[in-house]
Structure 1
Protein backbone atom coordinates (compact mmCIF):
# COMPACT_ATOMS: atom_id res chain seq x y z
CA UNK A 1 0.00 0.00 0.00
CA UNK A 2 2.81 2.46 0.85
CA UNK A 3 4.59 1.63 -2.41
CA UNK A 4 1.43 2.46 -4.35
CA UNK A 5 1.08 5.65 -2.31
CA UNK A 6 4.60 6.67 -3.32
CA UNK A 7 3.73 5.96 -6.96
CA UNK A 8 0.65 8.19 -6.63
CA UNK A 9 2.77 11.03 -5.26
CA UNK A 10 5.43 10.62 -7.96
CA UNK A 11 2.74 10.67 -10.66
CA UNK A 12 1.08 13.73 -9.11
CA UNK A 13 4.38 15.63 -9.06
CA UNK A 14 5.01 14.67 -12.70
CA UNK A 15 1.56 15.92 -13.76
CA UNK A 16 1.93 19.14 -11.78
CA UNK A 17 5.40 19.77 -13.18
CA UNK A 18 4.08 19.36 -16.72
CA UNK A 19 0.78 21.22 -16.44
CA UNK A 20 1.20 23.60 -13.50
CA UNK A 21 -1.77 25.06 -11.60
CA UNK A 22 -4.85 26.67 -13.12
CA UNK A 23 -6.65 23.89 -14.99
CA UNK A 24 -9.90 22.05 -14.26
CA UNK A 25 -10.03 19.10 -11.86
CA UNK A 26 -11.13 16.78 -14.67
CA UNK A 27 -7.95 17.54 -16.62
CA UNK A 28 -5.72 16.72 -13.65
CA UNK A 29 -7.75 13.59 -12.88
CA UNK A 30 -7.43 12.26 -16.43
CA UNK A 31 -3.72 13.08 -16.65
CA UNK A 32 -2.97 11.59 -13.22
CA UNK A 33 -4.82 8.40 -14.19
CA UNK A 34 -2.79 8.21 -17.40
CA UNK A 35 0.50 8.78 -15.55
CA UNK A 36 -0.37 6.02 -13.06
CA UNK A 37 -1.31 3.61 -15.87
CA UNK A 38 2.01 4.38 -17.60
CA UNK A 39 3.75 3.22 -14.43
CA UNK A 40 1.89 -0.10 -14.62
CA UNK A 41 -0.82 0.47 -12.02
CA UNK A 42 -4.51 -0.24 -12.45
CA UNK A 43 -6.67 2.86 -12.05
CA UNK A 44 -10.44 3.25 -11.95
CA UNK A 45 -12.02 6.68 -12.41
CA UNK A 46 -15.24 8.01 -10.91
CA UNK A 47 -15.95 4.92 -8.81
CA UNK A 48 -19.39 4.91 -7.19
CA UNK A 49 -19.48 4.49 -3.42
CA UNK A 50 -22.80 3.39 -1.89
CA UNK A 51 -23.79 4.38 1.63
CA UNK A 52 -25.06 1.68 3.97
CA UNK A 53 -27.67 2.86 6.42
CA UNK A 54 -28.63 0.04 8.75
CA UNK A 55 -29.57 -2.82 6.44
CA UNK A 56 -30.24 -0.55 3.47
CA UNK A 57 -27.74 0.22 0.72
CA UNK A 58 -28.32 3.71 -0.66
CA UNK A 59 -26.75 4.72 -3.95
CA UNK A 60 -26.65 8.48 -3.53
CA UNK A 61 -24.09 9.50 -6.09
CA UNK A 62 -20.86 9.56 -4.11
CA UNK A 63 -18.02 9.12 -6.58
CA UNK A 64 -14.37 8.96 -5.70
CA UNK A 65 -12.05 10.38 -8.33
CA UNK A 66 -9.43 7.62 -8.58
CA UNK A 67 -9.06 4.17 -7.09
CA UNK A 68 -5.53 2.88 -7.59
CA UNK A 69 -4.92 -0.87 -7.42
CA UNK A 70 -8.11 -1.02 -5.33
CA UNK A 71 -6.07 0.01 -2.25
CA UNK A 72 -5.53 3.78 -2.55
CA UNK A 73 -8.15 6.50 -3.06
CA UNK A 74 -7.14 9.78 -4.70
CA UNK A 75 -9.39 12.81 -4.50
CA UNK A 76 -8.35 15.51 -6.97
CA UNK A 77 -9.02 19.19 -6.38
CA UNK A 78 -8.17 22.37 -8.29
CA UNK A 79 -9.24 25.05 -5.80
CA UNK A 80 -7.77 28.07 -4.01
CA UNK A 81 -7.12 26.19 -0.75
CA UNK A 82 -8.01 22.91 0.89
CA UNK A 83 -10.46 23.02 3.78
CA UNK A 84 -11.25 20.53 6.53
CA UNK A 85 -14.41 19.47 4.65
CA UNK A 86 -12.22 18.11 1.84
CA UNK A 87 -10.33 15.85 4.26
CA UNK A 88 -13.67 14.80 5.75
CA UNK A 89 -14.82 13.85 2.25
CA UNK A 90 -11.83 11.54 1.80
CA UNK A 91 -12.36 10.04 5.27
CA UNK A 92 -15.97 9.29 4.32
CA UNK A 93 -14.85 7.62 1.09
CA UNK A 94 -12.33 5.52 3.04
CA UNK A 95 -14.94 4.47 5.59
CA UNK A 96 -17.61 3.49 3.07
CA UNK A 97 -15.21 1.78 0.64
CA UNK A 98 -13.15 -0.20 3.16
CA UNK A 99 -9.93 1.27 1.72
CA UNK A 100 -7.41 2.44 4.33
CA UNK A 101 -5.22 4.98 2.48
CA UNK A 102 -6.28 8.13 0.65
CA UNK A 103 -4.66 11.19 -0.84
CA UNK A 104 -6.21 14.60 -1.22
CA UNK A 105 -4.33 16.49 -3.94
CA UNK A 106 -4.94 20.15 -4.80
CA UNK A 107 -3.29 20.78 -8.16
CA UNK A 108 -4.06 24.50 -7.94
CA UNK A 109 -1.13 24.97 -5.53
CA UNK A 110 1.98 26.77 -6.72
CA UNK A 111 4.02 24.14 -4.86
CA UNK A 112 2.23 20.81 -5.03
CA UNK A 113 3.63 19.74 -1.66
CA UNK A 114 1.48 22.48 -0.10
CA UNK A 115 -1.64 20.92 -1.64
CA UNK A 116 -1.07 17.32 -0.51
CA UNK A 117 -2.78 15.51 2.34
CA UNK A 118 -2.23 11.85 3.20
CA UNK A 119 -5.21 10.39 5.04
CA UNK A 120 -5.16 7.00 6.75
CA UNK A 121 -8.14 5.27 8.29
Structure 2
Protein backbone atom coordinates (compact mmCIF):
# COMPACT_ATOMS: atom_id res chain seq x y z
CA UNK A 1 0.00 0.00 0.00
CA UNK A 2 1.77 3.14 -1.25
CA UNK A 3 -0.71 5.77 -0.19
CA UNK A 4 -2.14 7.59 2.78
CA UNK A 5 -5.60 8.81 3.66
CA UNK A 6 -4.55 12.28 2.47
CA UNK A 7 -3.31 10.87 -0.87
CA UNK A 8 -6.71 9.27 -1.45
CA UNK A 9 -8.60 12.40 -0.42
CA UNK A 10 -6.46 14.50 -2.78
CA UNK A 11 -7.09 12.08 -5.64
CA UNK A 12 -10.87 12.15 -5.04
CA UNK A 13 -10.70 15.96 -4.98
CA UNK A 14 -8.83 16.04 -8.31
CA UNK A 15 -11.25 13.64 -10.02
CA UNK A 16 -14.26 15.50 -8.63
CA UNK A 17 -12.76 18.70 -10.02
CA UNK A 18 -12.43 17.11 -13.45
CA UNK A 19 -16.05 15.88 -13.31
CA UNK A 20 -17.27 19.32 -12.24
CA UNK A 21 -15.44 20.86 -15.21
CA UNK A 22 -17.12 18.42 -17.61
CA UNK A 23 -20.53 19.04 -16.02
CA UNK A 24 -20.04 22.81 -16.10
CA UNK A 25 -19.30 22.62 -19.83
CA UNK A 26 -22.01 20.16 -20.86
CA UNK A 27 -24.70 20.34 -18.19
CA UNK A 28 -27.11 17.47 -17.42
CA UNK A 29 -29.17 15.40 -19.84
CA UNK A 30 -26.64 13.65 -22.08
CA UNK A 31 -25.79 9.97 -22.37
CA UNK A 32 -23.28 8.46 -19.95
CA UNK A 33 -20.99 7.62 -22.90
CA UNK A 34 -20.63 11.34 -23.73
CA UNK A 35 -19.62 12.21 -20.17
CA UNK A 36 -17.24 9.24 -20.16
CA UNK A 37 -15.40 10.47 -23.26
CA UNK A 38 -15.23 14.03 -21.98
CA UNK A 39 -14.05 13.01 -18.50
CA UNK A 40 -11.40 10.81 -20.12
CA UNK A 41 -10.14 13.85 -22.03
CA UNK A 42 -10.28 16.05 -18.92
CA UNK A 43 -8.24 13.51 -16.92
CA UNK A 44 -5.66 13.43 -19.73
CA UNK A 45 -5.47 17.25 -19.73
CA UNK A 46 -4.85 17.17 -15.98
CA UNK A 47 -2.22 14.43 -16.38
CA UNK A 48 -4.08 12.08 -14.03
CA UNK A 49 -3.05 8.48 -14.63
CA UNK A 50 -6.02 6.17 -15.37
CA UNK A 51 -7.34 3.12 -17.13
CA UNK A 52 -10.69 3.34 -18.91
CA UNK A 53 -13.21 0.50 -19.36
CA UNK A 54 -11.01 -1.82 -17.31
CA UNK A 55 -12.04 -5.47 -17.54
CA UNK A 56 -12.51 -6.77 -13.99
CA UNK A 57 -11.19 -10.27 -13.36
CA UNK A 58 -13.39 -12.65 -11.39
CA UNK A 59 -11.91 -15.71 -9.71
CA UNK A 60 -14.35 -18.42 -8.75
CA UNK A 61 -13.23 -21.73 -7.21
CA UNK A 62 -9.92 -21.75 -9.02
CA UNK A 63 -11.07 -20.55 -12.43
CA UNK A 64 -11.22 -17.14 -14.01
CA UNK A 65 -14.75 -16.28 -15.09
CA UNK A 66 -15.06 -14.04 -18.12
CA UNK A 67 -18.05 -11.96 -17.01
CA UNK A 68 -17.24 -8.90 -19.14
CA UNK A 69 -17.50 -6.61 -16.09
CA UNK A 70 -15.89 -3.25 -16.77
CA UNK A 71 -15.38 -0.32 -14.47
CA UNK A 72 -15.52 3.09 -16.10
CA UNK A 73 -12.21 4.27 -14.66
CA UNK A 74 -9.45 3.00 -12.43
CA UNK A 75 -7.48 6.08 -11.37
CA UNK A 76 -3.83 5.65 -10.37
CA UNK A 77 -4.61 2.08 -9.27
CA UNK A 78 -6.22 3.50 -6.11
CA UNK A 79 -9.66 4.83 -7.06
CA UNK A 80 -12.57 3.17 -8.89
CA UNK A 81 -14.84 5.68 -10.65
CA UNK A 82 -18.27 4.74 -11.95
CA UNK A 83 -20.27 7.19 -14.04
CA UNK A 84 -24.02 7.45 -14.38
CA UNK A 85 -26.42 9.78 -16.14
CA UNK A 86 -29.73 8.88 -14.51
CA UNK A 87 -32.69 10.66 -12.97
CA UNK A 88 -32.62 8.45 -9.87
CA UNK A 89 -29.70 6.76 -8.13
CA UNK A 90 -30.57 3.16 -7.28
CA UNK A 91 -29.09 0.90 -4.59
CA UNK A 92 -27.73 -1.42 -7.29
CA UNK A 93 -25.28 1.32 -8.33
CA UNK A 94 -23.78 1.33 -4.84
CA UNK A 95 -23.59 -2.47 -4.87
CA UNK A 96 -21.88 -2.30 -8.26
CA UNK A 97 -19.12 0.09 -7.21
CA UNK A 98 -18.52 -1.74 -3.92
CA UNK A 99 -18.23 -5.04 -5.82
CA UNK A 100 -15.76 -3.52 -8.28
CA UNK A 101 -13.70 -2.12 -5.41
CA UNK A 102 -13.60 -5.54 -3.70
CA UNK A 103 -12.79 -7.48 -6.87
CA UNK A 104 -10.00 -5.07 -7.82
CA UNK A 105 -8.83 -4.69 -4.19
CA UNK A 106 -9.10 -0.90 -4.39
CA UNK A 107 -9.52 1.19 -1.21
CA UNK A 108 -11.84 3.92 -2.46
CA UNK A 109 -14.55 4.49 -5.03
CA UNK A 110 -16.38 7.45 -6.49
CA UNK A 111 -19.87 7.25 -7.99
CA UNK A 112 -20.66 10.25 -10.20
CA UNK A 113 -24.08 11.06 -11.66
CA UNK A 114 -24.00 13.75 -14.35
CA UNK A 115 -27.79 14.04 -14.67
CA UNK A 116 -28.14 16.55 -11.81
CA UNK A 117 -28.31 20.32 -11.47
CA UNK A 118 -25.35 20.62 -9.08
CA UNK A 119 -22.86 17.79 -9.46
CA UNK A 120 -20.87 18.80 -6.37
CA UNK A 121 -23.86 18.75 -4.02
CA UNK A 122 -25.95 15.94 -5.42
CA UNK A 123 -23.97 14.17 -8.14
CA UNK A 124 -21.14 12.40 -6.39
CA UNK A 125 -20.62 9.99 -3.52
CA UNK A 126 -17.42 8.49 -2.16
CA UNK A 127 -17.20 4.90 -0.90
CA UNK A 128 -14.58 3.29 1.33
CA UNK A 129 -13.71 -0.38 0.92
CA UNK A 130 -14.15 -2.09 4.30
CA UNK A 131 -10.98 -4.07 3.62
CA UNK A 132 -9.03 -0.81 3.91
CA UNK A 133 -10.66 0.76 6.97
CA UNK A 134 -7.29 0.97 8.75
CA UNK A 135 -6.35 3.81 6.37
CA UNK A 136 -9.22 5.91 7.75
CA UNK A 137 -8.62 5.25 11.45
TM-score (norm 2): 0.85
Give the secondary structure class of the aligned counterpart of 2:29.
coil
Q: 2:58: which partner in 1?
A: 51
Question: Which runs of 5 or more residues in structure 1 are unaligned?
Answer: none
- The whole-number CA distance in structure 1 between the counterparts of 2:9 and 2:28 is 26
Structure with greater strand percent: 1
Q: CA deviation at 1:50?
A: 1.5
Given that 1:41 and 1:69 are in contact with CA atoms closer than 8 Å, whether structure 2 keeps it comes out as: yes
Gaps of 5+ in 2: 1-7, 130-137
RMSD of the TM alignment (CA)? 0.9
Give the length in aligned residue pairs.
Answer: 121
The answer (yes or no) to whether the contact 1:47–1:67 under 8 Å persists in 2 is: yes
2:32 alignment partner in structure 1: 25
Alignment-derived partner of residue 86 in structure 1: 93
* 1:87-107 per-position Cα deviation (integer Å, ceiling 9, x unaligned): 100000000001111111010
Aligned equivalent of 2:46: 39
TM-score between both structures, scaled by the size of structure 1: 0.95
